[in-house]
């Protein structure tokens, strides 16, 4: 039997495209961890313990711990040069595609443009909710939000989250020192209108989600996952080559160094 014939015998698996993505549930952790590993990060997880990934320069750690309450994602950056120590925490039901918005950005060079956390939200027509003491925008369906709060001491913090009518959801908080380009990367992923995919049995029971049934071959899933990993490896290879070719100069004095779709509703 040829390879093509064998593939034809493989039965498609039922998956669901879920909208809005903020209510899709946690998803597969490998969507985050495998991209980081392909980007040169080290897996510091202990056998049977929580996930821990460390950046190549050892300044940032990304962890996921399901064994404590409330559990979820913790991202911690050490003080480095002009950057103060920072952190971000995201609940365990934060969709991995939204988490990856932030963690993928950790592997990429910063844009030359000044970050603007609100811009992606405005582009997707999120609504501004005027409230005393802070600024909040909510998604068009009201299920997700992004908030900026400036406390009396002058400390400014960002928070976010999503919740359905049954009270199921997640929340996220960012320290005042979290780099703004990372918060913008998060808001971009949060407001992305594209649905995310979950397998049969992993679809949340929520009246506020819309689902589209799709039949997907295992080979298609592997190809999509591999494409993401391949892109990360290529970017990592380019960055290491650039660093290796960069000329070294002495510091100056006083210088600061396919499937059939069936629309259903839940």
Q: Which of 26-35, 66-75, 234-243, 257-266 has the highest mean pLDDT?
A: 26-35
Rounded Cα distance between 106 and 185, Å, is: 10
Rounded Cα distance between 80 and 134, Å, is: 29
Residue 183, burial from CB neighbour count under 10 angstroms (0-12, 13-18, 19+) = buried
Average pLDDT value over all residues in the chain: 88
The confidence band for 7, taking pLDDT boundaries of 50, 70 and 90, is low
Element (H, E) at 11: none
pLDDT at 265: 47
Decide which of 42 and 260 is more confident.
42
pLDDT at 9: 61
Q: What is the pTM of this model?
A: 0.86
Helices then strands, each counted (H, E), the chain: 6, 14
Pairing of strands 262-265, 86-91: unpaired
The pair of structure tokens assigned to 196 is: 């995310």
What tens digit of pLDDT does each residue of 174-194 get?
999 999 999 999 999 999 999
What are the CA-CA distances from residue 144 to residues 70, 158, 173 (Å)? 19, 14, 14
The confidence band for 6, taking pLDDT boundaries of 50, 70 and 90, is low
Residue 206: pLDDT over 60: yes
Question: Quick one: DSSP state of residue 85?
Answer: P
Element (H, E) at 56: none
Residue 246: pLDDT over 60: no
């Amino acid at each position: 039997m040829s390879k093509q014939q064998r593939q034809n015998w493989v039965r498609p698996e039922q998956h669901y495209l879920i909208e809005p993505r903020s209510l899709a549930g946690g998803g597969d952790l490998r969507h985050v961890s495998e991209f980081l590993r392909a980007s040169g990060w080290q897996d510091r997880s202990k056998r049977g313990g929580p996930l821990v990934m460390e950046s190549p320069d050892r300044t940032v750690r990304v962890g996921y711990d399901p064994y404590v309450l409330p559990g979820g994602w913790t991202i911690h950056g050490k003080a480095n040069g002009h950057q103060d120590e920072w952190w971000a925490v995201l609940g365990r039901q934060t969709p991995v595609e939204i988490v990856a918005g932030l963690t993928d950005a950790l592997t990429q060079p910063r844009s030359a443009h000044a970050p603007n956390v609100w811009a992606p939200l405005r582009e997707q027509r999120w609504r501004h909710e005027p409230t005393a003491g802070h600024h909040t925008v909510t998604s068009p369906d009201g299920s997700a939000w992004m908030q900026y709060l400036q406390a009396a001491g002058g400390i400014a913090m960002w928070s976010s989250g999503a919740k359905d009518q049954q009270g199921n959801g997640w929340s996220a908080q960012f320290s005042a020192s979290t780099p703004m380009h990372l918060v913008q990367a998060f808001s971009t992923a949060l407001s992305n209108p594209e649905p995310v995919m979950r397998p049969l049995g992993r679809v949340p029971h929520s009246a506020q989600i819309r689902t589209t049934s799709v039949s997907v071959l295992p080979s298609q899933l592997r190809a999509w996952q591999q494409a993401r990993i391949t892109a990360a490896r290529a970017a990592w290879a380019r960055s290491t080559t650039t660093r290796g070719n960069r000329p070294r100069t002495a510091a100056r004095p006083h210088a600061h160094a396919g499937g059939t779709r069936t629309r259903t509703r839940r």
